Amino acid sequence: MKITLATKITIARIILIVPTVAMFIVAELLTGVSTATHIALLAVAAFLFAVCCATDFIDGHIARKTNTVSMLGKFLDPLADKVVIVVMLFLIVLFKDGLSMGGVYPYNALVIAILSGIILSRELMIGVFRSIAASRGLVLAADIYGKVKTVMLDIGVTLLMLAGVHYIIGWIGTIVFYIGAILAVYSGFNYVFKNKQVLKQDDEENKKQDEAEQEKA
């Protein structure tokens, strides 16, 4: 099987998750280093994460531009998106570096953890919904709210990774992340509502099966 350029970029993004996570963990666990070194390590981790996010847009654009959308790419692309976001949010909540905003907002880590669970549930719901649509030969395009949600979450998580540098960065990251979480919930329900014909088709098929079984009986 020939691997397209877009899929290669997606695979590179998955591989890049490893040094991103490793750099962030090192930055948080390494003790006895100067503040400048700590900030530099966080900055490198945030930069690598930003690169991962950027390649998400690049591979999709290339696939559509060159008409090389592949089944492998369709599987790996959303997988890479979810893995990098979920892993980084887990680490951010785990270390809680700068999330309390200097003690002003001590429950921020808990709120972020709850919102992360909601976002993950939303992604799983949409994933199942798209799978049902695909089994019926339907291709459901992402809407503008979903795209804005992705951008906001990417920016929010990047800034939250740098929350330990300065509390202002943490505040901005928190606000952006909260907005992204709200958009995630809204875009999820809006996506299902706009494409409710998928569920209606399912109801019609079940009705036909029931009628067929009754006729046989």
pLDDT of residue 216: 59
Q: Percent of the chain having pLDDT more than 90? A: 47
Model pLDDT, residue 209: 59
Give pLDDT tens digits for 173-184. Answer: 999 999 999 999
Structure tokens at 143: 């809407």
Distances (CA, A) of 197 to 49, 100, 103, 146: 37, 44, 49, 19
Contacts of 76 (CB under 8 A, 6+ apart): 7, 10, 11, 14
Burial track 176-205 (b if 16+ CB lie within 10 A, e otherwise): bbbbbbebbeebbeebeeebeebeeeeeee
Looking up tokens 């991103």 gives 20
pLDDT of residue 196: 81
Share in percent of the chain as helix, strand, coil (round to 5): 80, 0, 20
Below-50 pLDDT ranges, the chain = none
Supply the pLDDT for residue 215: 58
Specify the residue for token string 């709850």: 114
Q: Mind listing the pLDDT tens digit for each residue in 107-143?
A: 999 999 999 999 999 988 888 888 888 777 777 777 8
Helices 5-29 and 71-95: crossing angle in degrees, nearest 10, is 10
pLDDT at 214: 59
